[in-house]
Amino acid sequence: MDKTKYERIVKTFYDYLEEGKVMGRKCTRCGAVEFPPYLACNTCGCPKTEWEEISGEAEVTGFRMESLMHSEEDIKELHGDYCYATVKLKEGAELNTVVVGVTAAMKDELMEKIPFPVKPYIAQRDGYKAVFWQLDE
Amino acid sequence: MTNLRKYSRGVSIIGVGCTPFMDTLGNLETAGLTEGELFGYAALEAMEDAGLEASDVEYYYHGQAIPSVQSHYITHNMQIANWFGMKGKASSSHSEACCTGYVALEQAVQAVAAGTYDIVLSGCCDMSEARAIPDKPAHMRTRFTQEEFADVLPMMYSRDYTRTSLAANALVCDSWMQLYARENNLTDQQIDDTLNAMAISCRRAAALNPLAFMGRSYKEEAEEAGFSTEMDYLRSPFNPKVTEYLRLSSFEQKCDGAAAVIVCPTELAYKYTDHPIEVLGVGHACLEGGTANLEKHATAEAYRQVKELTGLGGSDMDLFLANDFLLCSHLLAAEECEYLPKGEGWKYAAEGRTAFDGDKPINTNGGRCHFGHAHGSSGLADLYEAVKQMRGEMGPTQLKKTPETAMLRGFGGGQNVTCTILKTL
DSSP B16-28: EEEPPPB-GGGST
In this predicted model, which residue has the larger pLDDT, B282 or A3? Answer: B282
Question: Quick one: residue B86, left, alpha or beta (phi over 0 = left, psi -120 to 50 = alpha)?
Answer: alpha
DSSP B197: H
Q: Where are the beta strands (DSSP E) in chain A?
A: 23-27, 33-34, 49-53, 58-64, 82-89, 94-100, 116-124, 129-135
CB B247 within 8 A of CB B236: no
C-alpha distances out from residue B172 to B3, B68, B243, B293, B343, Å: 27, 24, 11, 7, 20
Top residue of B171, B172, B252 to mutate, by most chain A CBs within 10 Å, is B171
The pLDDT confidence band at residue B115, using thresholds 50, 70 and 90, is: very high
CB A12 within 8 A of CB A25: no
What is the share, in percent, of chain B residues with pLDDT greater than 90? 97
What is the bridge-based pairing of β-strands A94-100 and A129-135? parallel
CA B92/CA B303 separation, integer angstroms: 27
Is B244's CB within 8 Å of A64's CB? yes
Assign 3-state DSSP to chain A and report helix, strand, coil percentages, each to 5: 20, 35, 40
Chain B residues in contact with A114 (beta carbon < 8 A): 182
Give pLDDT tens digits for B288-315.
Answer: 999 999 999 999 999 999 999 999 999 9
B328 Cα to chain A: minimum distance (Å): 16
CB B104 within 8 A of CB B379: yes
The pLDDT confidence band at residue B6, using thresholds 50, 70 and 90, is: very high
Cis peptide before A115 (omega within 30 of 0): yes
Residue B57: CB atoms within 10 A of its CB come to 25
In this predicted model, which residue has the larger pLDDT, B7 or A73? Answer: B7
What is the share, in percent, of chain B residues with pLDDT greater than 70? 100
SS3 call for B131? strand
CB B282 within 8 A of CB B303: no
What is the bridge-based pairing of β-strands B141-143 and A116-124? unpaired
The pLDDT, as a whole number, for residue A137 is: 80
Chain A residues in contact with B242 (beta carbon < 8 A): 67-69
| Among B161, B170, B291, beta carbon nearest to A70 | B170
In the predicted structure, residue B193 carries a pLDDT above the cut 70 = yes
- Which among B379, B385, B341 is positioned nearest to B360, based on CA atoms? B341
In the predicted structure, residue A122 carries a pLDDT above the cut 90 = yes
Whether residue B400 lies within 8 A of chain A, CB to CB, comes out as no
Mean pLDDT of all residues belonging to chain B: 97
The pLDDT, as a whole number, for residue A74 is: 85
Taking the alpha carbons of B189, B195, B197, B199 in that order, is the dihedral positive or negative? negative
Q: Which residues contact A107 (CB under 8 A, 6 or more apart)?
A: A65, A83
Whether residue B413 lies within 8 A of chain A, CB to CB, comes out as no
In the predicted structure, residue B247 carries a pLDDT above the cut 70 = yes
Any idea which of A3-17, B8-22, B53-67 has the lowest mean pLDDT?
A3-17
SS3 call for B62? strand
In the predicted structure, residue A16 carries a pLDDT above the cut 70 = yes
Give the residue-averaged pLDDT of B235-256.
Answer: 96
The pLDDT, as a whole number, for residue A1 is: 58
The pLDDT, as a whole number, for residue B26 is: 97
The pLDDT confidence band at residue A73, using thresholds 50, 70 and 90, is: confident
Q: Angle of helix B378-391 relative to helix B100-113, nearest 10 degrees? A: 70
CA B145/CA B69 separation, integer angstroms: 12
Residue B191: CB atoms within 10 A of its CB come to 22
Give pLDDT tens digits for B11-24.
Answer: 999 999 999 999 99
In the predicted structure, residue A136 carries a pLDDT above the cut 80 = yes
Q: Which residues contact B338 (CB under 8 A, 6 or more apart)?
A: B303, B313, B314, B315
In the predicted structure, residue B75 carries a pLDDT above the cut 70 = yes
Give the residue-averaged pLDDT of B237-251.
Answer: 96
In the predicted structure, residue B365 carries a pLDDT above the cut 70 = yes
In the predicted structure, residue A22 carries a pLDDT above the cut 80 = yes
Chain A residues in contact with B161 (beta carbon < 8 A): 10, 13, 36
CB B296 within 8 A of CB B338: no
Is B290's CB within 8 Å of A84's CB? no
Is B167's CB within 8 Å of A94's CB? no
Q: Rounded to the nearest 5°, which phi and psi values hold at A131?
A: -95, 115
DSSP B315: G
The pLDDT, as a whole number, for residue A68 is: 87
Give pLDDT tens digits for B137-169.
Answer: 999 999 999 999 999 999 999 999 998 888 999
Whether residue A76 lies within 8 A of chain B, CB to CB, comes out as no
Q: Complex ipTM, two decimals? A: 0.94
Beta bridge partners of B92: B61
Give the residue-averaged pLDDT of B308-324.
Answer: 98
Count of helix runs (H) and strand runs (E) in chain B: 15, 11
Q: Which amino acid is at B309?
A: L
- Which among B305, B373, B346, B50 is positioned nearest to B180, based on CA atoms? B346
In the predicted structure, residue A87 carries a pLDDT above the cut 70 = yes
